[in-house]
Amino acid sequence: MVADLEELVVCESFSSDLAAVARSADAVAAQGTRLLGAEPERLVVDGVTHLRWTFGTPRVLLLGHHDTVWPTGSLATHPWSVSDGIARGPGIFDMKAGLVQMFHALALLPSLEGVCVLVTGDEEVGSDTSLALIEEAARQCAATFVLEASADGGALKTARKGTSAYELVVHGTAAHSGLEPEKGVNAAVEAAHLILALEGLADEINAGAPHDWRTTVVPTVVGAGSATNTVPAEATVSIDVRAPTLRAQERVDACMRALKVTVPGARLEVRGGPHRPPLEETSSAELFARARAIARRQGWGTLLSAAVGGASDGNFTGGLGCPTLDGLGAVGGGAHADHEHVVVAEMVPRARLLAALVEDVLR
């Protein structure tokens, strides 16, 4: 498994480098073909390479991605290494170790009849070209297992917040800021009013919500103006929204579209909206109970669960109504960070857990 992991990690796959993603798909396809005994379909959508294996009529979907956030060339500063039981390298935790564990888990099964494996190439940038493939597969299946990395301590991810992205565009009127500022409509000032209004919006939606599972409405990238002596005629505010329930996500959307301007003469344009629906715990409850029972029977200890703010493609499958269990991949930490790593000793137990879980659901 470690040799297979090295093979995938040293083949870099930065999401925006489509040639690198295609080379990575070759490496993943070769590994999957060797371990599963069948070649995948190679699905190229708008230049992005995805892979799909289908065995009979699909009932269980195994979902992962082979693209990473690490720019091509990151191996020079973050080389592959294994030391004291810890493996390191760009994208190793998110989520190339999950792919290796998935292939080895499936190789343990006496039959793959009823299994669909989908490995996408654009998860880290929003899954725009793979969404239709994900939804098509999930609609056919009774369960989805997502090979994203585990939460702290190896916990499975039983809930994820949904994501929405907005851009507020404020249209004002330019004027000379020294000679006649009163003739302008300051888009930057209006943007400031809107940012403060959004703080109040989050507080209102979170009334009574647990502190660690709240809706967040966060202004991120803000820009305005064209020159230091000119009243800004336009301002933009990017908003990142994370909502734990579909109801909260829909409520934020309605509030965003109901925003009103404060500065006379300013005009507001709201772009964007919900992207990934929340993966709510009701979608994962039965599958997690199965996984926990298997772990207990096999003497693997008590499995933990976690609700996390980050989203994955499991949000899409859960949002469609397909029962979904996430975080079945690597145990380690540091996703997207300099200390990204995987605990090698956990790879075999996690593969065996996945194999037993898939077999249990198929049976």
For residues 102 and 32, the answer to whether their CB atoms sit within 8 Å is: no
DSSP labels, 33-57: HHHHSSPPEEEEETTEEEEEEE-SS
* Token pair 């999957």 in the structure block, residue: 32
User: Per the structure block, which two tokens stand in for 97?
Assistant: 């170790």
Domain ranges of the chain: 2-161+278-362, 162-276
**CB of 300 closer than 8 Å to CB of 349:** yes
Does residue 26 carry a catalytic annotation?
no
Task: State which fold the 162-276 domain adopts.
Answer: Alpha-Beta Plaits (3.30.70)
In the chain, what is the greatest distance between 2 CA atoms, to the nearest angstrom? 81
Q: How far apart are CA 180 and CA 231, in angstroms?
A: 9
Return the exposure string of 305-322: e unless at least 16 CB atoms fall within 10 Å of the residue's CB, then b. bbbbeebbbbbbbbbbeb
- Fold designation for 2-161+278-362: Aminopeptidase (3.40.630)
- Please tell me the pTM assigned to this model: 0.90
Indicate which residue of 4, 6, 12, 67 is catalytic.
67
Residue 46 is among the residues annotated as catalytic for this protein: no
Q: What is the pLDDT along the chain (363 residues), one digit of tens a residue?
A: 999 999 999 999 999 999 999 999 999 999 999 999 999 999 999 999 999 999 999 999 999 999 999 999 999 999 999 999 999 999 999 999 999 999 999 999 999 999 999 999 999 999 999 999 999 999 999 999 999 999 999 999 999 999 999 999 999 999 999 999 999 999 999 999 999 999 888 888 887 777 778 999 999 999 999 999 999 999 999 999 999 999 999 999 999 999 999 999 999 999 999 999 999 999 999 999 999 999 999 888 899 999 998 899 999 999 999 999 999 999 999 999 999 999 999 999 999 999 999 999 999
User: What whole-number distance in Å separates Cα of residue 360 and Cα of residue 180?
Assistant: 74
**How far, in Å, are 76, 78, 189 from residue 126 at the CA level?**
27, 25, 32
Distance CA 54, CA 321 (A): 21
Catalytic residue among 94, 122, 123, 280: 123
Is 162-276 in the same CATH topology as 2-161+278-362? no
